[in-house]
Amino acid sequence: MTAILDRLRATGDGGAPPPIRSVRVRRWTVVAVVAALLVAVPVVVAAWPVSPAVSVSPAELRDRVAASGNLPWSGYAEASGGLNLPDVAQFSDVTTLLSGTSRLRGWYAAPDRVRVDQLYPAGERSRYTTSTGQVVWDYGAQLLTYVRRDPLVRLPRPDDLLPPQLARRLLSGTLPDDPVTGLPARRVAGVDAAGFRVTVADPRTTVGALDVWADPTDGLPVAVELHTKGATGTLSAGPVVVTRFLDLDRETPDPSLFVAQPTPGVGVTRSPTSDLFGVLGRGSPDSVPAVVDGVARVAPQRGFAAIGKYGTTLSQLIVVPLPADIAGSLLGNIGDAGSAGRTIAVAAPQNALGRTANASAGALESSLLRLAVLRVGTRAWAIGGLVTDDVLDRAVTDIAADSAGAS
Amino acid sequence: MMVVELRKLFRRPRTWVTIGLLCLLPAIVAVFLATTRIAPAPGEGAAFLSAVLESGSLYPAAALALVLPIFLPVAVAVVAGDTVAGESGAGTLRYLLVRPVSRTKLLLAKLVSIVAFVVATVAAVAGTSYVVGVTLFGAGDPVAVVNAIPQISGPGGGGSSSGGSGGGSASTPSAGGSASAADPAAPAPAAPGAPTAGAGADNGAPALDPTQARERAADSVASLSGDPLSPMDLALRLLGAMAYITVSMLGVGAIALFLSTVTASSLGATLGALAALISSQVLVTLDAAASVTPYLPTRYWLAWIDFFRDPIFLRDIRSGLFVQAAYVVILMLAAWANFTTKDVAQ
């Protein structure tokens, strides 16, 4: 090596050494060329033309994505949310998830054989989905929790942000009539992915468009971007949620990866549910109204009768009863949230005895997700969804009115 | 030439003082932890510091996490910044160059001595912290851990010995059982064969008192992903982490070595390298600088922690190796272009 470098001292006329100045220039040129080559490698790789293996129409690709639930994969993805939600103690996991970047490792063999690790600089939270339930490992708490069941309607979790999960979940909320257009292909985690955009026509939802890039051969989503829309229906300039694979392996993962192995000495416990809605939703089915904002309630899931789900599209509203003390704390937090918090005027309803109950309501605002808290006397509810302010306000009014009739 | 440089490096008292000081910090932290038994909460403070009270065999990892952010790069910058500029400042460089050895070889010998210093320092920190950790916190006994698994997670077990998880301990046996039943094809952690294997490995193990076994099992080590790490597995991962940290320091060394060929002041070279590192650290935390972040020398420094995930997460480790290699190649070439064409007056 040193001999090669030394040979760069070229001989001049008659074997006399060249002026040191020219040697210096030549050697610094070598440095510059090597540096330029090293810097150019990632640039060239990124700029290499993308050519999807097969050509499919956007509508066909959408159908393939929707039917990709049984495709195995493993990989690493990063998901970024730009909702800038304030940190509200009771929902800190959700606000953090949608307001920052999540680093996710996933292994997927089938819908009931999934493992997702959320990586932290010096820790990890893992969730194993099996046919009999879920197992959650929290390095921070040094606790392994065997979870029996979470409700279908639940708070967002990190594993929801993996591209395949997010794409299928959001696409299931769009309508067949929503326009689908093609997007330029992208190379994502080594996959030359074809893209399509579904523009959401429903004026009740804040979701404006859903951009999905997927492997055109089988429809596995590799990147998803979510755009909101304004009051006039114009799309946001940039996506508010972005998730994409950075590493992807299409082989079926090793089965041993789907088994949580408790280390002796760590805490092990069991829980009927790992979701806040799973706890709040165990009350009476009459805890929430039959109709909200003109939308009838979808039949509740067995075991979670108190969770109200209104609609099946992206504009669906979720209503869950809250303990009054938690509602009071939440309303206080919303009041402290500055521009992200909003007070909703709600008419105090009269009960059957003609008495007027105290009523207050507030909402946590973001461009995508909206969450309201309503308290009427000793009863309270949380109302949330990817819906506009109008829808949320009408829902709050309806529930307040219904509470008067029910009490 | 290389032997001469290595001998010169390791005969200097200041080299050993530097290594000694680097070993001292983890020892001081260990003494405080062992005395007070107050560890930072898991996931907070330096990596792995929360787990060392349960097993001292993990203390080398915690010690490396303690010295990596500041002390180790400062030490490397001091040594590397002194390599050429120190000779120049002391007036010995021209005598060094009189010898029939090319400047390129001299530069490579300097680089090798920096690598040797980093290897020696990382090994010394890990070695002394292992001794300190095991002495002060104890180490898990692998055979006892294997034997104790059925007593903890299998039918008839008395529950976890962890006092903090008392509420969940009663449900632990069935929870472990349900996990095994959920996936009969996969190897179960509490497989019935485990005690047999353990008994075969150690004749004294079956006579182990159950309570004692549970207490010793509590000393075992969990990976960041929650899976138990065998002592051999832990040792291999530690070696991997040490090797990665060594490579991570080469970028700093190369920056300081290049600056050392530019200036006659070793202090100037050291401070220049540290200024580059601090700038890199600031930019790494800045979202607005995301486009250049992957190319910064400190971007992947913490990827050594990924050796302790299960399976090992290689993505950032791989990227870190590439980045360090690029810095070493470019800066060593720059040092070569400068040093071999420099008019040495001192």
Q: How confident is the model at residue A13 (pLDDT cuts 50, 70, 90)?
A: low
Give just the sign of the alpha carbon dihedral A100, A106, A108, A112: negative
Higher pLDDT, B46 or A292: A292
pLDDT at A21: 82
Residues of chain A neighbouring B183 (CB-CB closer than 8 A): 113, 130, 255, 258-259
H or E stretch including A372? strand A370-376
Q: pLDDT tens for residues A363-380?
A: 988 889 999 999 988 889
Tell me the average confidence (pLDDT) per consecutive run of 10 residues in chain B, 346 residues long: 83 92 93 84 69 80 91 94 84 76 87 94 94 81 42 36 34 34 36 35 42 51 84 90 95 94 91 95 90 93 93 95 96 92 69
Distance, in Å, from the CA atom of A75 to the CA atom of A115, rounded to the nearest integer, reads 11
As for the ipTM of the complex, it is 0.85
B240 exposure class (CB count in 10 Å sphere: 0-12, 13-18, 19+): middle
The answer to whether A158 and A81 have CB atoms below 8 angstroms apart is: no
Could you write out the three-class secondary structure of chain B?
A: CHHHHHHHHHHCHHHHHHHHHHHHHHHHHHHHHHHHCCCCCCCCCCCCCCCCCCCHHHHHHHHHHHHCCCHHHHHHHHHHHHCCHHHHHHCCHHHHHHCCCCHHHHHHHHHHHHHHHHHHHHHHHHHHHHHHHHHHHCCCCHHHHHHHHHHHHCCCCCCCCCHHHHHHHCCHHHHHHHHHHHCCCCCCCCCCHHHHHHHHHCCCHHHCCHHHHHHHHCCCEECCCCCEECHHHHHHHHHHHHHHHHHHHHHHHHHHHHHHHHCCCHHHHHHHHHHHHHHHHHHHCCHHHCCCHHHCCCCCHHHHHHHHCCCCCCHHHHHHHHHHHHHHHHHHHHHHHHHCCCCCCC
Q: Is B187 on the interface with A (CB under 8 A)?
A: yes
Distance, in Å, from the CA atom of B226 to the CA atom of A143, rounded to the nearest integer, reads 9
| Mean of per-residue pLDDT scores for chain A | 88
Query: Looking up tokens 């206080």, which residue turns up?
Result: A332
Q: pLDDT tens for residues A380-400?
A: 999 999 999 999 999 999 998
Q: Do B226 and A262 touch (CB under 8 A)?
A: yes
The answer to whether A248 and A75 have CB atoms below 8 angstroms apart is: yes
Q: pLDDT tens for residues A268-285?
A: 999 998 888 888 888 888
pLDDT at B210: 52
Residue of A123, A137, A260 with shortest CB distance to B43 = A123
Q: Do B165 and A268 touch (CB under 8 A)?
A: yes
Q: Is the pLDDT of residue A209 over 70?
A: yes
Give just the sign of the alpha carbon dihedral A384, A385, A386, A391: negative
Q: What letter would DSSP give residue A173? A: T
Q: Do A269 and B152 touch (CB under 8 A)?
A: no
Q: Is B101 on the interface with A (CB under 8 A)?
A: no
pLDDT at A240: 93
- The domains of chain B are located at 2-139+232-339, 142-218
Q: Which two tokens stand for residue A180?
A: 């689908």
Higher pLDDT, B137 or A204: A204
Higher pLDDT, A173 or B219: A173
**A-interface mutation test, from B296, B332, B341, most A Cβ less than 10 A away:** B341
State the nearest Cα–Cα gap between A274 and chain B, in angstroms.
15
Average pLDDT over residues A130-138: 92
Nearest residue in chain A measured CA to CA from B150: A264
Residue of A117, A122, A131 with shortest CB distance to B43 = A122
Phi, psi of A139 (to 5 degrees): -65, -35
Distance, in Å, from the CA atom of B117 to the CA atom of B76, rounded to the nearest integer, reads 8
Nearest residue in chain A measured CA to CA from B334: A31
